[in-house]
Structure 1
Amino acid sequence: MRKSIIRSTGHYIPEAVITNEELVASYNAWAERFNSDNAAAIASGDMAEQLLSSVDFIKNASGIERRHVVEKSGILNIDTMTPKIAPRAFEEVAFQAEFAMKAVTPALEKAGVSGADVDGVIVASSAQQRNFPGLACEIQEMIGSNGFSFDLTMACASALYGLHIANGMIQSGQARRMLVCSPEIMTCINVHSRRDVHFIFGDASSAILVEADEGQDGGWDVVGTHCQNKYSIALRSDFGFINAAERTVQPDYAPGLDQDGHKVFKDVVGFAPTVARTMMQDIGLEPADVRRTWLHQANIRMVDMIAKRILGRDRTEENAPGILHEYGNTSSSSVVINFEQNSEDMASGEHGVMCAFGAGYGVGAAAVRKR
């Protein structure tokens, strides 16, 4: 059975930044207007008052200080509260495909690889811009690959599910080189008028180039991968193509992003490290032999607890670095960005573990070794 390596990675972070202070000012202005416009219904108990947000609430709940976004003004405008993105003509490159290429291009360039040498493209992200053709098909065309491509959606674990599939296809001989890209435009999914979630997400794109081990220098050995699911609706997004049909029955139906934060926290903090440790046991990797773990950046308290349960020791910035404060939750791209930004100092032969977790619930884990 062939072995695979991570040959290179790439990522892109938008320049526009929204601080907690800016986001709170916008949300509170919306909430105060809502409460004023609906004062009578709120007083009679027919409608719930919208609670105000605060910088301290966001920092304590998540550890996030700011987030990078594809477009700022629309999110902060209380009449829209979503990014402003102009529609494109059919023949133009899709916005999300263009966003993906900002991470794909540096990943290919760092590896010195042409897109024509890529056998398969997987777009692994929380949502794709359209139902068909697959976004991966467009990226495959853009890089000049003559192979296959498909989209994959497994929320915040998508990138590691993509890595798991790419690793398996290379091991089985079905592909020699695979590209996994995760263009996560989460501010288009988020509901910025909901206090419990308005601060969570930022936007970012990542890419992983995985190829067969043929004795080449550099990169990271993929020592093991593992994915596992446990069904839950505690975190869900109801946006989809059936919404128009639902509105024929209920015209004011508004699909949204729903989260039972306390349940998600409790469930995932127990489930995610179990999946990672199962993988480690299967490949004979002891916690003491893992120098670093790169975790999905969902919530700083989750990162602290999951890192400790994977590593068997308290989390530090050395053994489980955090990037949440700067970027917010960028869904599946976060674990790849974390890996790329915090792995150069590792020595040849040292091991690390990636772990991502999210809605589904789905958990993906991968063990890598510096070549």
Structure 2
Amino acid sequence: MKQGVYLLTLFFTLSLFAQETSLDNYTGSWGNNASWSGGWTDGSPAFLNLPESAGDITVFGQIKVGTSASPQNLTFAANNDGLDFTVNDTLIVNGDVTFANKAMNLNLGNNAVLIILGDLDMNNKINIASGGTLVVSGNFNKTGSQGTYTGDGNVYAGSFSGDAQSTIDDGTGEDSSFTIDDLSNDGFPEIEDFVNGGGTTPLPVDLLYFKVDSESDITLSWATATEINNDYFSVERSEDGINFYEIGRVDGNGDSNQEIKYSFTDKFVLAPIEYYRLKQVDFDGQFEYFQVKRVETDLEKEQVQITAYPTSVETGKVSLSSTRPFQVQEITVYSLTGGETKNLKQQVIQENPLNYSINVDNLPKGFYLLKVTSSEGQDFSTRLMIK
């Protein structure tokens, strides 16, 4: 997940307070009034004792605070715990970030990235939603009795002190706090290089938007603002939102500094609800994932009816056909004469969305039970005889 993730999001809210919202799909500076929708209500973007005007602050583009040559600190004033500071895209702070006692709540949305090239000192609640990533190049310190951590986003820091690590890991069921070096292990080598390089290494692919149109066929469209070393995009689908598999590839454009639009059409949906995500892959094999999209299709809920033929063969292949498009998750043959069990998934050839074939040349003579599991978790079994 290399991090210039720009998500096209519509944000509507009603509030008695003023609110500051950055522009969508935008790369700009925190201190530039043009980076914010309508400009800041007090006329100039604030740095110290946020918020200057009582209101939520939401980031929808890639906003940068300070530079490596001229760091700028962000300080969130005390007694504003009724307000939220939300990052829904990418915020890069060249400097320290301080949340005073009961300051604004920190929220990182799905696929949001907050990179702090300095220290983070937090005394209030912390909320990182599923998919959010917080990276602190220096020390992450957490003090005070208040403080909760929700969601399954991860936190990477040069070091932890106070209650930071125990707050993050408490009640999550698994660790969510890691060191900077763990970024590569989790598939984020570009963020690691960016942080270790003090922000001088670019974040490779900036995604302007990723959206899905389901009026007829499922059409995915996205655009990039910049690309570095971009080999291709892998379009992945899932029927349960957890187990994804590739359904197509779209070539990237290597290096680019201009907007490039892409699209992919999925004509063979499998379930009433489908999930899609993009995987961007560099020429050297490094990759990142972008936001998951949930789509309701017009496919009625029905069982996949699979048939196999012929069920008695000497050599060659066995064909599988279904009543509607499906994906094979696993194919296993169980010997009925005491032989070994084999998983034939690697020998499956998809001829079209309704038909597959399996090469059975390597199976010895005997009787077998052939079990097919679709990506929806539905099973089909039949007897097979190798003569």
Normalising by the smaller structure, the TM-score range is under 0.3
Give me the TM-score of the superposition, normalised by structure 2: 0.24
Larger radius of gyration: 2
Give me the TM-score of the superposition, normalised by structure 1: 0.25
Q: Tell me which of the two structures has the higher relative contact order, counting C-alpha pairs closer than 8 angstroms and 6 or more residues apart.
A: 1
Of Structure 1 and Structure 2, the greater helix share is in 1
